[in-house]
Structure 1
Amino acid sequence: MKHTFVFIDKVLIILKDVPKSLDTPEKKEHAHKIVRDLESYTRTLKKIIHSHKQEEYRQRLHNIHLAGAPELAGKVDALIKKFDSLLVILERDAEVLKDTIENSPEKWVSRIGDLAFDMVMTGLHQMQAEMTEEDKEIERFKQMALFEMHELEELVDSAEHISDILQ
């Protein structure tokens, strides 16, 4: 789970550095780079999330000896559904953003805002100063590393993304 959240955080980080408008070729190129990065992280997330659904990794989660892990193991299905929702959002919005850059650049800020809001609505990150019980559960999932390094290297085909995990 820990590795999944690394890439969710990476998506949030790239969304913090978006141009406010697309009124110059440089800003459009920067927007294209953001979309390419978004698509790249989405592909990596998709592979990792798909792997979480495999029985071998579900069993590992049940066997993790972190405080509270047994009660969290029963909540994996709900978390996987949130991950699936996030993938739908990222894949859909990457296409919308590409179209916006080329055909409706005046709607760029609004479309980026839609993506950010949709990500918030998944509940997969914490934005409040005071964490709810659900936020605390998410934080505990963030500490669970289910994959061995060699397994991650098989899943993640980007050297840059492997580097992100190691940081």
Structure 2
Amino acid sequence: MFSAKFKELKQQYHSSDARKQLFASEDSPFNGDSVVSRRNVMGQSSGSQAQEFSGNENDSLPLYHGLEKEQSAFQRGNAQLEMILEMGYQSLDDIVEQNQILQKMQDKMTRSLTTLGVSQGTISNVNRRLFKDKLIFWIALVLMFLGMYMLVKWLR
């Protein structure tokens, strides 16, 4: 039944003038109105039930209703992404603030160790170890982000 309908539509298309159909004033894609917007306006203004193509017309949604659902899904997704970005910015601000506090504490501890009479060699050993730990942390962070990027790229 579908193949017979397809052959009939194909024959009807080939019998009509395709160039005239393409550049006709109301069917032209160049007149500023897209097909989707015309269907959407037609479905909302005239109240006709412009339906999406499916095998069973009874269980399909009107085109404009489906588009509204899709738009609301995109809006919810955008709202969630904005919330995640805001949480990321807050976390970054917290980390910067904690870094400043840790630097102040390091300066205070270095001054108090000097006051207590700990040798400069011991203090420089501690500072070198601190630098190595920071270097390991940053390298691990870069590798983690690189791995996450490669994983996302590979999964797509």
Band of TM-score, shorter chain:
under 0.3
TM-score normalized by the length of structure 1 = 0.25
TM-score normalized by the length of structure 2 = 0.26
Larger radius of gyration: 2
